Amino acid sequence: MNLKLGINMGFASNKYVEPEVWTRIVGEELGLKYVQFVADLLNVFLPEPIVRRQVERINENAQKYGIEITSSFLSSFTRVNHFMNPDPEQRKVWLDWFKRFASVSREMGALSTGGHLGILTFHDYDDPLRRETIIREGIKHWQELSWYCKDIGMTHLIFEPMSVPRELANSVEETKELLERLNADAGIPIRLCLDVGHAPHPDDRDPYRWLRELGAMSPIVHIQQTEKDHSRHWPFIEPYNEQGIIRPDKVIEALEQSGATDVELIFELYHREAWSSEFRIIEDHRQSVDYWRQYVRQ
């Protein structure tokens, strides 16, 4: 099994937004090569001239510091209803947004893009007929996006199972069903981005079961330290490694059992805006990388 260590750039949102800064942090201070870019660092709702200048700066500095943007993803400020918005006009706007984001991501080298499938409102979720209607519409939008991404040279799309039913893929069985429905008419394969810390359905909270059963369908796995029944997004440092349930050797063993062949293990660590954590961001990431380097060399 080919494993790579990389990083989701959500940690940089509103903190390290300058391309010259975050590329140096990833390449030099953390010694990582593989990057999952996030929309928070360059929201394509911005005017085209701004987007163009940012892409040029990102590409220039990515090359300078020897990093590769392999995928792109939604993040905190784009955790919205998008393809499952109850308003069809807004769903269409978000489809156009995703196409533009995919194009920009491809310019930066990404071969895949994605995020959460969509989020249902309580009004739609509580009505079974309405719920299925909106989910069906969301699937159509993902499929249309997949054909667009095929045309621009991407190899697959990815979506992340989430932690509550309204945000979908809440159990292993539901995730398998959604994968089947999505891929029934997709231009390129639609795969998963598993997260070892998401705490979904109460009967499905073993992260290693998710890895064993779905790891082969997940070319990217978000890694974080966490407690059972929570999604803490803690760094892999003491004392969190003493409290947490995520062990690198168990993660790798579960992925091997799944039949996975190529997986990017992507750090997705968050720090609250507090004196106790705000100034530890880089050091905590550095220690987390060192911890995982004992198990993954690439």
80-118 pLDDT, tens digit per residue, is 999 999 999 999 999 999 999 999 999 999 999 999 999
CATH architecture of the region 2-82+95-118+139-294: Alpha-Beta Barrel (3.20)
Distance from C-alpha of 117 to C-alpha of 177, rounded to nearest angstrom? 13
* Six token digits for residue 240: 């969190």
Q: Is the pLDDT score of 201 beyond 80?
A: no
Paired with 21 in beta bridges are none
Residue 29 has pLDDT above 90, yes or no: yes
- Domain boundaries defined on the chain: 2-82+95-118+139-294
Q: Helix, strand, coil % (nearest 5) of the chain?
A: 50, 15, 35
Q: Would you place residue 229 in the very low, low, confident or very high pLDDT band (cuts 50, 70, 90)?
A: confident
pTM: 0.97
Look at residues 48, 39, 36 and name the one whose alpha carbon lies nearest to residue 17. 39
**Is the CB of residue 101 less than 8 Å from the CB of residue 39?**
yes
